Structure 1
Amino acid sequence: MTFREKSNSSRSVTSEQPSQALKICYRGSFLLIAEKPAGLPVHATLDPHRKNFADLVQAQEKLPYLRLVNRLDLDTTGLVLFCTDPEKNKEADEILSQAEKKYLCIVNRIPPEKSFREECFLKDGKGRVTAVRSGGKKAITDFKILSTNTASNISILEAALVTGRRHQIRFQIAAAGFPILGDTVYTPSDFRIKKTVPIPNRSLLHSYLLKFKTEEGIFARAISPLPDDFQKYLSFFPGISLPN
């Protein structure tokens, strides 16, 4: 992992476009779950020459049809759910809405409560979301502290989505006063970070668990291990770890 200087200037995310086969975590009759690396857009962008995750998965798996059911931000790694049958899109959306969806993130500061819930109404804007009193969509996330490092004043949190809005986790945890390390969009410009904390070149947010009821009515789960750069970053902080 590379690190950037402690400044408020914007940066380009280092692309981690896959040099090897993309990992498929689940295959069903019309569902597929794959692991997205950082720096790779999940769908097509305005640049027709830029690779994107959905196209790469479709090409690798030689699928005539593939539709994104959930989306991850450019920096975010981990599990993405696809529908592989155009006649099953509604069923796929319903499966995702009922699924257990959990993320891991490294944040600045240590929340005072072991577990807490954040609720607000979010409205999409240009490149970011904002909280509004009316006209937005309800956003709910349950957070839990998994590990902390008091010397550097950082925490590893688990974030469980109750709703699934754009930038939901990133916005809510920053608004609560604990921005995700590496998130230049929602970390306040005057936010002070300890000098002992190296700044990652991307937002350290990882979609690690999808637990759901399959199309056959069987409960299943997909788990994505932490990517190498996330694990390497944790090695800078003795004593901080994830429970098994």
Structure 2
Amino acid sequence: MNKFFEISWVVTEAEAPVLLREFLKSKQISKAALTDIKFHGGALFVNEKEVTVRTFLSKGDVVKVYFPPEKQSESMEAENTTLDIVYEDEHFLAVNKPPGMPTIPSLYQPKGSLAAGVLFYYQQNDIPGTFHAVNRLDKDTSGIVLVAKHRFAHSLMSKQQREKTIKREYIALVHGKLEQDNGTITSPIGRKPDSIIERMVREDGQPSITHYEKLNYLSIYHISVVRLKLETGRTHQIRVHMASIGHPLIGDDLYGGSRDIIKRQALHSETARFVHPFSDKEVLIKVDLPYDMRKLLK
């Protein structure tokens, strides 16, 4: 049996009278979403009766939207993978991804992805939907990955991404002692010639802004603990920017870091803060550093 995601509202006095089409537009349901609902098995209801977008609404009317059933991606297989779920509601879940786990399957690592684990979790918990990552992390970066449970939630969070209202903070361990306690790096980033993976600072690159704050210096290893905030989300942005000022991440041998004391880039997505698009309440998610980084700090 196909399952639907549904959402409902009660029309307020301030909103009425209004055409259903305009009401749904005010709730950020796009024309594309309405077309999807109309032609792919969704439905619109007012006071328990199926209607069209041309229906007029009055104060107190109950509007329900049934979104079309979602099929799991045929390119991904569900796998019984242990997930550290640190936040969940009917619209989102957040997973504390360990280092070494890819966010989605790739040609080089087709098994053991976060996406495959989430799909299995959905199957076990009777959650209709496929994998909608709000953000992604490199395979060896640990920390918070936010996942939308349905297309509408994903579209709302994608809008927040574009408007830069989702705030994330990262912790990194970098080589050397930073001269300044805090600073901002604004160097543009682009693809490195002859590489499909590596990025570099280049004049014709995309605008990129990283703020950093030095938290501590560990003289025994000659490394600094740094908190970072991004204004842009370029591929490998933190790794490229820190290397560009002479402080590559430890373990990040792609950008000049040494793997002597840790075998992956020491980068962790520690916090995520956003306004929940369905409740309008602020959500703050924070996760501890993984074992390999904690061990160095001790």
Scaled to the shorter chain, the TM-score interval is 0.7 to 0.9
Give the residue type in structure 2 aligned to 1:33: A
Letter matched to residue 118 of structure 1: I
Q: Counterparts in 2 of 1:153-164, with a 5 A limit?
A: 153-164=222-233
**Contact 2:251–2:260, Cα closer than 8 Å, also in 1:** no
Among 222, 226, 241, the residue aligned to 2:285: 222
Q: TM-score, normalised by structure 2?
A: 0.66
State the SS of the aligned residue for 1:113. coil
Tell me which of 92, 110, 115 is aligned to 1:31.
92
Q: Which has the larger radius of gyration?
A: 2
Distance in 2 between residues matched to 1:107 and 1:35, nearest whole Å: 22
Residues 99 and 210, structure 1, Cα contact 8 Å, conserved in 2: yes
Whole-Å Cα distance in 2 between the matches of residues 229 and 48 of structure 1?
Answer: 22
Is the alpha carbon distance of 1:131 and 1:225 closer, same or farther for their aligned partners in structure 2, counting shifts above 3 Å?
same
**CA-atom RMSD in angstroms:** 2.1
- The answer for unaligned runs of 5 or more in structure 2 is 1-78
Specify whether residues 95 and 58 from structure 1 end up closer, same or farther in structure 2 by C-alpha distance, changes over 3 A only. farther
- Please give the alpha-carbon distance, in whole angstroms, between the structure 2 residues aligned to 1:124 and 1:20: 33
* 2:122 matches 1:52: no
Residue type of the partner of 1:128?
A: E
Shift of 1:19: 9.3
Q: Cα offset for 1:113?
A: 0.6
Overall identity of the aligned pairs, in %: 26
Structure with larger RCO (C-alpha < 8 A, sep 6+): 1
Distance (whole Å) between structure 2 residues aligned to residue 19 and residue 66 of structure 1: 15
* Structure 2 Cα separation of the partners of residues 39 and 110 of structure 1: 27
The Cα offsets for residues 87-144 of structure 1, whole Å up to 9 and x where unpaired, read as 333211123431111000111001111010011221234111122212x321111000
Task: Go from structure 1 to structure 2 and tell me whether the alpha carbon gap of 1:149 and 1:67 turns closer, same or farther (over 3 Å shift).
Answer: same
Q: CA deviation at 1:233?
A: 2.1
CA–CA distance in 2 between the matches of 1:224 and 1:36?
10
8 Å contact from structure 1 (residues 95, 214) kept in 2? no
Cα distance in 2 for residues equivalent to 1:214 and 1:199: 39
Structure in which a larger fraction of residues adopt helix: 2
**Number of positions where the alignment pairs a residue of Structure 1 with one of Structure 2:** 210
- Mean alpha-carbon deviation: is it higher for 91-100 or for 221-230? 91-100
Aligned to 1:75: 140
Task: Answer whether contact 1:69 1:81 (CA < 8 A) is retained.
Answer: yes
TM-score of the superposed pair, with normalisation by structure 1: 0.79
> Comparing 218-227 with 52-61, which one deviates more in the overlay?
52-61
* The one of 168, 173, 183 aligned to 1:106: 173
| Between 163-172 and 83-92, the greater mean CA deviation after superposition | 83-92
| 8 A contact 1:31–1:92 mirrored in 2 | no
Report Cα offsets for 1:188-242 as digits up to 9, x if no partner.
Answer: 7xxxx7xxx942111110000001111211011111101112111222xxxxxxx
2:171 aligned with 1:121, yes or no? no
Deviation larger for 205-214 or 151-160: 151-160
The structural deviation recorded for 1:42 is 0.7
What is the CA–CA distance in structure 2 between the aligned matches of 1:163 and 1:87, rounded to whole Å?
Answer: 23
Unaligned runs of 5+ in 1: 1-17, 236-244
